[in-house]
Structure 1
Amino acid sequence: MARYWIGLAERDSVQAAVANGVCLFSGGKAAAVRKLAPGDWVLYYSPHETADGAALECFTAVGEVIDDTPWTQNWTQLCAGGPSWTFGTGRGSGQTWVRKCAYDAVGEVSVRPLLGALDFVARPRHWGRTFRRGQMEIGAADFFAIADRLRAVA
């Protein structure tokens, strides 16, 4: 049975992951991607455009995990220094644990209009705390509420 996940990363790092067909969480830690199984679904929430950039507060990607085992990838080589290192295991270190992911064509959706309707946001007034973790599992209803909106604005 599929599980549903949200990852936290700046938009430029999410774009690099999407362009390279991989997903990663929690600074590229192996334990984070070992939780995933083929057929699991991933959403990304991007609080900012870049690590030092303007606020964004949008969901920015949705994809399905399509491989069986995590593997390491040199993020520096993969992205040629473009992203803001959100995913790196330390700024500039480059080595991350990833999984293959097939991403859907989607737009971006602001988190704010959805806050009152998402079960995983226990306290909508303090919603930002919910997203501080690098990875969290959510229910199917919340996943599809977000993913359907992302797909609708593609």
Structure 2
Amino acid sequence: MLKGMNRRYWIGVASQDHVLKGVSGGFAQLCHGKEAPLKRMNPGDWIIYYSPKQNLKDQAPYQKFTAVGKVSDNRVYKVHAGKEFSPYRRKINFLKCRETPIHPFIPNLTFIKNKRHWGYSFRFGHIEISEHDFKLIVKQMVKI
């Protein structure tokens, strides 16, 4: 399931409520609907969603990994989602998983360079991570 040549691993950042919409619809939407981050991904790549909050307007921290999925095709598409909002999306096959708090992982994740200010690592909303980091997280989220 997790092996393959040229496979890349990603983290997308979104509130839990937005992640759940994507999971139920079978799509990824990143960086407020931008096309560029989705185009960086290829079929067979994996994505883990990290949710700093439960919903966009919340102030309370949530700080959990909330979904895991695999990019299923080569198509990035645009949808009309309401008043003057037409985000780009990409089809993802999500796995059944359990949400997992980030804090136990922080010391061992190589993409987090500053362990004290770890949240800074997520500021761009879409980051590539190593296979090692991916497997470390997924091992706790998914029964393989």
| TM-score (norm: length of structure 2) | 0.91
* Deviates further, 7-16 or 66-75: 66-75
Question: Is 1:57–2:63 an aligned residue pair?
Answer: yes
Q: Does 1:20 align with 2:25?
A: yes
The 3 A distance-change label for structure 1 pair 36 and 124 is same
Question: Which runs of 5 or more residues in structure 2 are unaligned?
Answer: 1-5
Moved over 3 A (4+): none
The equivalent residue for 2:3 is: none
One of 115, 134, 144 as aligned partner of 1:143: 134
Aligned to 2:80: 74
**Mapped partners of 1:137, 1:20: distance in 2:** 23
Amino acid of the structure 2 residue aligned with 1:34: K
Q: Alignment identity in percent?
A: 34
Partner of 1:3: 8
Question: Counterpart in 2 of 1:34?
Answer: 39
Q: 1:133 aligns with which of 100, 103, 124?
A: 124
CA RMSD of aligned residues (A): 1.1
Q: In proportion to residue count, which structure has more helix?
A: 1
Normalised TM-score (structure 1): 0.85
